[in-house]
Amino acid sequence: MNDLTKIQNESLMENRNASPDRVIDRLFQRMTLIYGTAWADKWRGVPLGQVKAEWSAGLHSFDTEALRMALAALVKQANPFPPSLPEFRGICAQFVRRGPHRLALVDKSPRDGPPGGFQSLKQVIKHAGIPAIKQQVATGTEE
């Protein structure tokens, strides 16, 4: 495998404990591969160490997964111009995890019961044609 293929196949996620410098180095490698000279020309005349330090400070609040997904979004958008730091932060922000995933929404608003009260619900169930439920409603028993 040549060096170019190795860089393309590596993921920012290869090491969740990677140092910020390593992550920024990897990000700049990927940007160079994606944008070529347009990326390098963007920083012409500016010491690269300063540029990387600014990007590191600007992206410190994002995890590597958000950075990886932002890079994928850049490729998908097919914009021929490399992003500025604020533009890239905006893309990363779309991929920030916002707490644990929830399987269902929880409605905590107070409830008064069904319209017409529970008595009307019992009447609906009684006329639903389900014998076991009809018997429980008629006798007031539950299993």
Domain residue spans of the chain: 3-93, 113-143
Question: If you write DSSP's letter for every residue of 130-141 in order, what string do you get?
Answer: -HHHHHHHHHT-
Q: Is 25 helix (H, G, I), strand (E, B) or coil?
A: helix
User: What confidence tens digit (pLDDT) does each residue in 91-103 have?
Assistant: 999 888 766 654 4
Asked whether the beta carbons of 18 and 34 are under 8 A apart, the reply is no
Q: Is 112 helix (H, G, I), strand (E, B) or coil?
A: coil
Residues of the chain with pLDDT under 50: 1-9, 11-13, 102-105
**Helix axes 48-59 and 20-35, enclosed angle (nearest 10):** 110
Q: In whole angstroms, give the CA distance from residue 118 to residue 99.
A: 37
User: What confidence tens digit (pLDDT) does each residue in 114-139 have?
Assistant: 566 656 666 666 666 666 655 665 66
